[in-house]
Amino acid sequence: MRVTGAVVVIAVLDGGSGAELARRFTAAGAARLLIADLRPGVAEDLATELDRPDCHVVGVSGDIHRPSDIAALVSTAVKHLGPIDLFAVAGPDGERIVQLADLPDHLDPLADLLALLGEAIGEVVPQQRRSPEPAAVA
């Protein structure tokens, strides 16, 4: 995964922390970073801490469980930082990084991103907090 010069979005889920992940991306040479956290002020404070001339960092509040918030994050990132290279999800059980270059060109990029983020959320949210599977009908 190429990080140097990349535009990265980090979405933090309830119980997760994006601080260490954001620090790793900035240390690895990311050019621009957008951090979104459910908790008001957390991403903004982290962005202020990490922002520097060679890596512009923006912090916003957002909930990637809602497709409208994902669309807003993507729009904000592209408008202020340029095309997104990596989209990371930080949850209570770890992190998952999605490379947007892996999305098929011929499909709706937002729909593909929503599907990949749904998988990512499932991987980084503890099993006991996930929605139960519907019972099979006999």
The identity of residue 75, as a single letter, is: S
pLDDT, tens digit (0-9, with 9 covering 90-100), for 76-106: 888 989 988 998 989 888 888 888 776 555 4
Q: What is the pLDDT of residue 120?
A: 73
Total structural domains within the chain: 1
Residues with Cβ within 8 Å of 34's Cβ and at least 6 positions away in sequence, in order, are 7, 8, 9, 10, 57, 58, 59, 60, 73, 76, 77, 80, 81
Please check whether residue 129 lies inside any domain of the structure.
no
Full residue range of the structural domain in which residue 74 is found: 7-123
pLDDT band at 111 (very low <50, low <70, confident <90, very high): low
Assign residue 101 the CATH number of its domain: 3.40.50.720
DSSP-assigned states of every residue in 21-44: HHHHHHHTT-SEEEEEESSTTHHH
Cα separation of the two ends of the chain: 46
pTM higher than 0.85, yes or no? no
Mean pLDDT of the chain: 82
Q: What is the pLDDT of residue 78?
A: 87
